[in-house]
Amino acid sequence: MQDKIKTLTEKKELSKLGGGSTRIDAQHAKGKLTARERIELLVDKESFTEFDSLAHHHSDMFGLADNVPLGDGVVTGFAEINGKKIALFSQDFTVLGGSLAETHGRKICKIMDTALKIGCPVIGLNDSGGARVQEGVISLGAYADIFLRNTLASGVVPQISIIMGPCAGGAVYSPAITDFIIMVKNSSYMFVTGPKVVKTVTHEDLSSEELGGALTHAAKSGVAHFVADNDMHALEISKKLLSYLPSNNAEEAPFVSSEDLSDRKNELLNNIIPDNPNQPYNMKDIIRDLVDNGEFLEVHEQYAENIITCFARIGGRSIGIVANQPAVLAGVLDIDASKKAGRFVRFCDAFNIPILTLVDVPGFLPGAHQEWNAIITNGAKLLYAYCEATVPKVTLITRKAYGGAYDVMSSKHIRGDVNLAWPSAEIAVMGAKGAVEIIFNKEISSADDKIAKEEELVSEYNEKFANPYIAASYGYLDDVILPENSRKVIINAFNLLENKVDKNPPKKHGNIPL
Please, which residue, 140 or 444, has the CB nearer to ligand HXC? Answer: 140
- Which of 23, 264 has the CB closer to ligand HXC? 23
Q: Could you tell me the CA-to-CA distances from 341 to 42, 172, 224, 398, 408 in Å, in that order?
A: 28, 22, 14, 18, 11
Q: How many helices (H) and strands (E) does the chain have?
A: 20, 17
**Environment class of 50 (CB within 10 Å of its CB; exposed 0-12, middle 13-18, buried 19+):** middle
**Interface size with ligand HXC, residues (CB under 6 A):** 16
* Closest to 107 measured CA to CA, from 70, 62, 154, 63: 70
73 binds ligand HXC (CB under 6 A): no
Contacts of 133 (CB under 8 A, 6+ apart): 62, 99, 139
Residues 103 and 58: beta-carbon distance below 8 Å: yes
User: Which of 24, 86, 96, 181 is in the footprint of ligand HXC by CB under 6 A?
Assistant: 96
Binding flag, residue 132, ligand HXC (CB under 6 A): yes
**Residue 189 interacts with ligand HXC (CB under 6 A)?**
no
| Ramachandran assignment for 62, one of left (phi > 0), alpha (psi -120 to 50 degrees), beta (any other) | left
- Residue 69 engages ligand HXC in binding (rule: CB under 6 A): no
Asked if 129 is part of the footprint of ligand HXC (rule: CB under 6 A), the reply reads yes
Binding of residue 130 to ligand HXC (CB under 6 A): yes
- Residue 135 CB, shortest distance to ligand HXC, in Å, is 8
Is 269 among the residues that bind ligand HXC (CB under 6 A)?
no
- Of 41, 61, 109, 140, the residue at the interface with ligand HXC (CB under 6 A) is 140
Residue 346 touches ligand HXC, criterion: CB under 6 A? no
Stretch (H or E) spanning 296 = strand 296-299
Burial category of 222 from C-beta neighbours within 10 Å (exposed 0-12, middle 13-18, buried 19 and up): middle
Nearest approach in angstroms of CB 160 to ligand HXC is 20
When asked if residue 468 is in the footprint of ligand HXC (CB under 6 A), the reply is no
Only segment of 130-138, 250-258, 284-292, 491-499 that touches ligand HXC (CB under 6 A): 130-138
In sequence order, what are the residues at sequence separation of 6 or more whose Cβ sits closer than 8 angstroms to the Cβ of residue 239? 42, 81, 82
User: Cβ of residue 102: shortest distance to ligand HXC, in angstroms?
Assistant: 13
CB 321 within 8 A of CB 287: yes
Name the pairing type of β-strands 166-168 and 84-91. Answer: unpaired
From 69, 77, 166, 363, residue interacting with ligand HXC (rule: CB under 6 A): 166
Give the binding range for ligand HXC (CB under 6 A) out of 108-116, 132-140, 218-226, 344-352: 132-140
Any idea what the Cα angle at residue 447 is, between residues 445 and 453, rounded to 5°? 95
Residue (159 or 208) nearer to ligand HXC, CB: 208
Report the candidate in 28, 162, 14, 5 with the shortest Cα–Cα distance to residue 86: 162
- CA 336 – CA 362 distance, rounded (Å): 16
Q: Which range of residues in 1-9, 75-83, 124-132, 433-441 is near ligand HXC by CB under 6 A?
A: 124-132
Q: Does 111 bind ligand HXC (CB under 6 A)?
A: no
Given candidates 17, 133, 447, 497, which one binds ligand HXC under the rule CB under 6 A?
Answer: 133
Q: Which residues are catalytic?
A: 169-170, 404-405
169 part of the interface to ligand HXC, by CB under 6 A: yes
Q: In terms of DSSP bridges, do strands 49-51 and 74-81 run parallel, antiparallel, or are they unpaired?
A: antiparallel
Give the separation between CA 322 and CA 354, rounded to whole angstroms: 11
Q: Is residue 140 within 8 Å of residue 102, measured between CB atoms?
A: no
Binder of ligand HXC out of 131, 235, 308, 380 (CB under 6 A): 131
- The answer to whether 315 contacts ligand HXC (rule: CB under 6 A) is no
Nearer to ligand HXC, 23 or 288 (CB): 23
- Residue 97 makes contact with ligand HXC by CB under 6 A: yes
Distances in whole angstroms, Cα of residue 285 to Cα of each of 145, 230, 237, 356, 505? 45, 28, 22, 15, 39
Asked whether position 430 contacts ligand HXC by CB under 6 A, the answer is no
CB of 167 to ligand HXC, least distance (A): 9
Tell me if 175 contacts ligand HXC by CB under 6 A: no
Sites of contact with ligand HXC (CB under 6 A)? 96-97, 99, 129-134, 140, 143, 166, 168-171
